[in-house]
Homo-oligomer: A and B are copies of this chain.
Amino acid sequence: MLYPNNIKKQYHKQINYSNRGMVLEELINKTNHYNLENNLALIYKKPTPIGIVDVSFNNKGKQIDKAYFKEPSTLDYNGLYKGKYIEFEAKETLNKTAFPLKNFHLHQINHIRKVIEHKGIVFIIIKMNNLVYLLKGEDFLSYIDNHERKSIEYNYLKEKGYLLKENYLKGLNFLEIIDKIYL
């Protein structure tokens, strides 16, 4: 009531944007941290690849003064669980009916194919309509290879995906689902 309309709108926009980008990532980070602390799995987020242009030295050591983000060619998270290689990507969308494939780089899609070929476990965690699904890399590729679309229909995700449960302390139960569908 105190603010003119356009300022209120902007504020809400920022909240939404932040939800879309960060909430799932924070949830995955919490899960990985819990799994590490409890010695259940060794899964880490890969640092964002950057190209360094300028560095300088000061009393705190080496500092980066100019760098840019590079396009990742692998997925964001990888690691080890019960002797198995695990790799996955986590994505959120506000879209209610379809998950846009522009969220993936071509390199990443090719990489998913290669991980399967080399007998690793690879999947996508997708948050959509306030639910979190695990979609096997095999089902993700099968959709892409058999449809001319630029997005995955929500119905496909409901049909082929595994609904993940969220626990305040433990985060997401994807290790349980891995046990059930891969091991």
Contact = CB atoms under 8 A, between A and B. Distances in A.
Interface of A: 39, 41-42, 44, 46-50, 60-69, 73-74, 78-85, 87, 111, 114-115, 117-120
Contact of A65 (B42, B66, B69, B79): B66
A88 B114 CA distance: 20
Contact of A68 (B44, B63, B85, B117): B63
Contact of A82 (B48, B73, B78, B119): B119
A83 B47 CA distance: 24
12 contacts: A41-B118, A42-B111, A60-B68, A62-B68, A65-B65, A79-B85, A80-B118, A80-B120, A81-B118, A82-B118, A82-B119, A83-B85
